[in-house]
Structure 1
Amino acid sequence: MSTDQWLPNGADLGTDFKLRSLLQSGDGWQIFRTKGRSLVLVVDAALLDWWCSLALIEKDLFSALSIGGKDFFYLSSGADATIEPVSAGAGPQTKADALSFVYAWKETRKRLPDGSLQNSLFIERYSRLLPLTSEGSEIPDDELLGRWLTGGVNVSVSSFRRIHALCGWMSVRDLIDVVRSAGFEVPPGSELLDKPAALGSSNACLLGKDENKRNDGGIEDPLVPEINGNADIQRSFNLPGREALEDFFNEHVVDIIFNPERYRTMGIDFPSAIILHGPPGCGKTFAVDRLVEFIGWPSYAIDSNSVGSPYIHETSKKISELFDKALDNAPSVVVIDEMEAFLTDRRSGSSSGLHHVEEVAEFLRRIPEAISNRVLVIGMTNMIDMIDPAILRRGRFDHVIEVGMPSAEEIRSLLGSLLTGIPLSPGLAVEGFVKALVGRPLSDAAFFVREAARLAAKNGKAQLDDESLEAAFASLPQEKVTRATSIGFVWGEEKD
């Protein structure tokens, strides 16, 4: 079928349907604008019959006309609805536009569960996406929605931060509503991309809540899960082998991130900074890595490899640059490893020189700034007594947590978690290895299970047996173990 204009400008299709111009066309379809600013879709008989055979739309919604002895059919959009190709559309201009597309996509998927909708027409008035071909490359629906929201950028709605950056016309909360209405997940803490008024006034907090709790039309949207009020999001961070630390992170970090509105009404806008301290191998880094992975925010590491420099002023400059990156990409996480390398007591004889004082001062300045701008700060150290007291003052690090070497109970819990899903021989003697692993890092226990499973597979065994466990344990380095201690929470007195 030729894509030459089928109907001349000015053609009269009836009241309010005098065509003004051809807007878009393709194989079997053309879209015209009328003098009344409505849109008219004209399709040939073959395309309409195909849509009807898929039960996507009813034929009696179209009116018939004849062009050059051939049968065509047309329908109008109405005064305030759109007809446009999904692949070449300009995208929505309001939240209502976006939700209309989502509803059309969902209604279409009820009738056409499979098949590509990349090359289709969005008929807003009838809440349908009508495919134009059954062939061609198929993109997943999360990317289809991302392309339409951004006006053609190849991005999935799962990449929420990028979608937000490309949809500057829509607030974060509205964008979350749209994505969740489509049934897709939103990364935890995404609400925090939309920075509310400063928390200096409780009235500002309450005002922010009232402004955000409804959609554009002022009506609660039944398709959107409520994220505040009486239906808080329930998420749980798991840290096998470290129940106390797991509970702390869930209460003081995860719950605040996932349920911000509930906390904002009480003047709590963001999790406080945290220090984990304990002997090498106690599991500090493992715990922080798991938490960062769970939250899903971009993370930035400050350690001797990333910011250390022999040149005066260079280290403090790199520290500042890294905090700037975290602020630019907030919400994010800054992890300060080996804090004693940068933040030793300025009054001690082990730290000297103006450059060290400058580094500590840079941290003192940037940590409160980061927290107030939704950057989660987590520090780790093996030598808490060496840290400058000004750093430990509340308002910078509110929580100072001691992490001891794993106890027998913690190792037993971790092994139970790691062995879940692995075929085990009856009567497997795990308890003896629990006692042998006491005082070792949790990473040794994780390696022990992985290595035992590898050896069992290598030897063609269908189940993990005692022989494989013994061989795996023998491969562990023979280190001097540290006495196991339980995790503790220390809130020291405020220091000057």
Structure 2
Amino acid sequence: MSSEQWLSNGFEIETDFKVRSLAQAGEHWQIYKSGGRTLLLVVTNALLDWWSDEGLIEKELFSLLSVDEQDLFYLYSGSDNTIEPVRGGEGPQTKADAISFVHALKDTRKLFPEGSLYSSLFVERYSRLLPLSSKDEGFADEIVLGTWLSGGVTVSVLSFRRLNDLCGWMPTHDLIDVVEFAGFDVPPDSGLLQKPPSPGSSLLRSDEVGQTPQEKEVQANSSTPGSGPSNDSRRSFSLPGRKTLQDFFNEHVVDIIFNPERYQMMGIEFPSGIILHGPPGCGKTFAVDQLVEFICWPSYSIDSNSIGSPYIHETSKKISEVFDKALDNAPSIVIIDEMESFLTDRRSGNSSGVHHVEEVAEFLRRIPEAIKNRVLVIGMTNMIDTIDPAILRRGRFDHIIEVGMPSAEEIRSLLDSLLQNIPKSSDLAVERYVDLLTGKPLSDAAFVVREAARLAAKTGKTALDDVCLEAALSSLPKEQEKRRERIGFIWDEEKD
């Protein structure tokens, strides 16, 4: 069959359809527009026979049309339905359109479990995706759906961040519903990518799909104002040995991240910047590492080793590069460690001139920008008093949290957590180790348990005992005794 237009403009079919223009075409099919909203699909006998043999659609639904001694078959779309290719089509205009496509994808897979639907026609009226090639092109259904949702871009719905950017017309919560209704998972932080609903967008939720108007009315009447779903979607972060810090992170970071809609209604778009300060070994880094692992976002570190440079302007350039990477991969996390190394007060005599001022200025500019664009910024320092006051102002870091050395209660909580899933002897003197480890870093307590477990396994023991814990404890570095320094002269004890 010629690739030229089969039906000329103005061609009439049974006085019900008058061809206005050719919309789209392939080797064995063409789609025509009329003066109204109805579309006409015209296919060759070979293509229709293949669909019929596969059980995808009944041949009787098509009508015979002879053109230039060639038998063709045609099918109307109906005024409120579409016919278009998955690749090269316009894609959905509303959430209801997207849900309709998912229904067609599922219905087609029941009849056509093998083979790619990447090159296929979406015939909404009969809830079918009709393949155009018998060759398996290796495109899975998550790519088929992503391609149609994005209007022809080959993208998987599993690449949700990119798909969300491509589907700018659809609010993120609607896109989440569509992808989940299709049976695919979305990242737990997808709510952070929310866009404001576009004018005229459907408010249909995934739990409303397939409901009758009566069922929707019953559901609406059974809901009370302000009531949430029966299954609470909130997630909880655990930080053994640091309950106060754990509660802070859950309230000011985790709850906002994993329940964005509730906060966005009140104008809270994203967690504010945080500074943890306290003496070396107090557990700042351990706490931040645990939070980063829990949230599971890309993280980027800024410290004296990674950005320090003896060259003019090089340090501020590296700072900017780190923030650029975090912004490109948002939502993400930037960790500013050893803040005192490059964010000391510009007015102090310890600052290193104009280049230090430039570095502080770079942070002052980039931190608010990062927070505004879904980058969680966490700073850590041992010397909060030396940090430039402009950095500490609200809007950059709203929360400045002091982290002290762990108390006996915190050490006990950590040991209980670490020993919970380890076989241990019934007479293990846990309280003794609580006393011995109080005042030491939490990392020391974690090391002692881990090292004791290793020693128990090495010696063939089936339970952790005091002997192993004592041996592990003795391997901790000994504290250096304070000594009086003698500098520049001989100290005479008798004359003192």
Q: How does the TM-score come out when normalised to structure 2?
A: 0.71
SS in 2 for 1:246: helix
Amino-acid identity (%): 57
Partner of 1:48: 52
Superposition deviation, residue 251 in structure 1: 0.9
Q: Alpha carbons of 1:450 and 1:136: their partners in 2 closer, same or farther (altered >3 Å)?
A: farther
SS in 2 for 1:75: strand
Confirm or deny that 1:409 pairs with 2:412. Answer: yes
Task: For 1:55-74, list aligned pairs within 5 A.
Answer: 57=57, 61-63=61-63, 74=74
Partner of 1:445: 446
Confirm or deny that 1:38 pairs with 2:42. Answer: no
Q: Alpha carbons of 1:16 and 1:184: their partners in 2 closer, same or farther (altered >3 Å)?
A: same
Deviations 1:288-334 (A, max 9, x none): 23433444544332222332221333323433443345445544332
Asked if 2 retains the 8 angstrom alpha-carbon contact of 1:16 and 1:35, the reply is no
Partner of 1:236: 235
Q: Alpha carbons of 1:46 and 1:395: their partners in 2 closer, same or farther (altered >3 Å)?
A: closer
Confirm or deny that 1:216 pairs with 2:185. Answer: no
Give, in whole Å, the separation in 2 of the partners of 1:50 and 1:474. 69
The answer to which of 122-131 and 334-343 deviates more is 122-131
Give, in whole Å, the separation in 2 of the partners of 1:64 and 1:288. 70
Give, in whole Å, the separation in 1 of the partners of 2:455 and 2:74. 65
Superposition deviation, residue 378 in structure 1: 0.8
Give, in whole Å, the separation in 2 of the partners of 1:351 and 1:408. 38
Corresponding pairs, count: 450
Q: Alpha carbons of 1:39 and 1:401: their partners in 2 closer, same or farther (altered >3 Å)?
A: same
SS in 1 for 2:54: helix
Partner of 1:494: none
Q: Alpha carbons of 1:320 and 1:25: their partners in 2 closer, same or farther (altered >3 Å)?
A: closer
Asked if 2 retains the 8 angstrom alpha-carbon contact of 1:164 and 1:175, the reply is yes
Give, in whole Å, the separation in 1 of the partners of 2:23 and 2:362. 62
Which sections of structure 1, spanning at least 5 residues, go unmatched?
196-207, 483-496
One-letter amino acid of the counterpart of residue 479, structure 1:
P
Asked if 2 retains the 8 angstrom alpha-carbon contact of 1:326 and 1:375, the reply is yes
Q: Alpha carbons of 1:336 and 1:464: their partners in 2 closer, same or farther (altered >3 Å)?
A: farther
Superposition deviation, residue 272 in structure 1: 1.6
Give, in whole Å, the separation in 1 of the partners of 2:6 and 2:396. 71
Task: For 1:350-429, list aligned pairs within 5 A.
Answer: 350-405=350-405, 407-416=410-419, 419=421
Superposition deviation, residue 379 in structure 1: 0.6
Superposition deviation, residue 388 in structure 1: 3.0
Asked if 1 retains the 8 angstrom alpha-carbon contact of 2:333 and 2:378, the reply is yes
One-letter amino acid of the counterpart of residue 124, structure 1:
E
Q: Alpha carbons of 1:306 and 1:193: their partners in 2 closer, same or farther (altered >3 Å)?
A: farther
Higher CA-based Rg: 2
Asked if 2 retains the 8 angstrom alpha-carbon contact of 1:173 and 1:194, the reply is yes
Give, in whole Å, the separation in 2 of the partners of 1:368 and 1:402. 22
Q: Alpha carbons of 1:262 and 1:35: their partners in 2 closer, same or farther (altered >3 Å)?
A: closer
SS in 2 for 1:44: helix
Asked if 2 retains the 8 angstrom alpha-carbon contact of 1:119 and 1:132, the reply is yes
Give, in whole Å, the separation in 1 of the partners of 2:58 and 2:426. 65
Give, in whole Å, the separation in 2 of the partners of 1:90 and 1:81. 13
Asked if 2 retains the 8 angstrom alpha-carbon contact of 1:22 and 1:30, the reply is no
One-letter amino acid of the counterpart of residue 118, structure 1:
Y
**Two-structure CA RMSD over aligned residues (Å):** 4.7
One-letter amino acid of the counterpart of residue 216, structure 1:
S
Give, in whole Å, the separation in 2 of the partners of 1:166 and 1:450. 50
Give, in whole Å, the separation in 1 of the partners of 2:464 and 2:416. 19
Superposition deviation, residue 162 in structure 1: 1.6
Task: For 1:136-215, list aligned pairs within 5 A.
Answer: 136=136, 138-193=138-193
One-letter amino acid of the counterpart of residue 399, structure 1:
H
Give, in whole Å, the separation in 1 of the partners of 2:444 and 2:4. 71
Deviations 1:132-157 (A, max 9, x none): 67762554433332232234444322
One-letter amino acid of the counterpart of residue 478, structure 1:
L
One-letter amino acid of the counterpart of residue 39, structure 1:
L
Give, in whole Å, the separation in 2 of the partners of 1:187 and 1:271. 18
Task: For 1:450-469, list aligned pairs within 5 A.
Answer: 452=453, 465-466=463-464
Q: How does the TM-score come out when normalised to structure 1?
A: 0.71
SS in 2 for 1:47: helix
Asked if 2 retains the 8 angstrom alpha-carbon contact of 1:411 and 1:442, the reply is no
Which sections of structure 2, spanning at least 5 residues, go unmatched?
210-219, 481-496
Q: Alpha carbons of 1:238 and 1:39: their partners in 2 closer, same or farther (altered >3 Å)?
A: same
Confirm or deny that 1:259 pairs with 2:259. Answer: yes
SS in 1 for 2:55: helix
Partner of 1:289: 289
Superposition deviation, residue 166 in structure 1: 3.0
Partner of 1:488: none
SS in 1 for 2:396: coil
Superposition deviation, residue 276 in structure 1: 1.7
Give, in whole Å, the separation in 1 of the partners of 2:315 and 2:463. 51
Deviations 1:5-49 (A, max 9, x none): 7995358764435677594446xx634426556131534334213
Task: For 1:89-168, list aligned pairs within 5 A.
Answer: 89=89, 91-109=91-109, 116-131=116-131, 136=136, 138-168=138-168
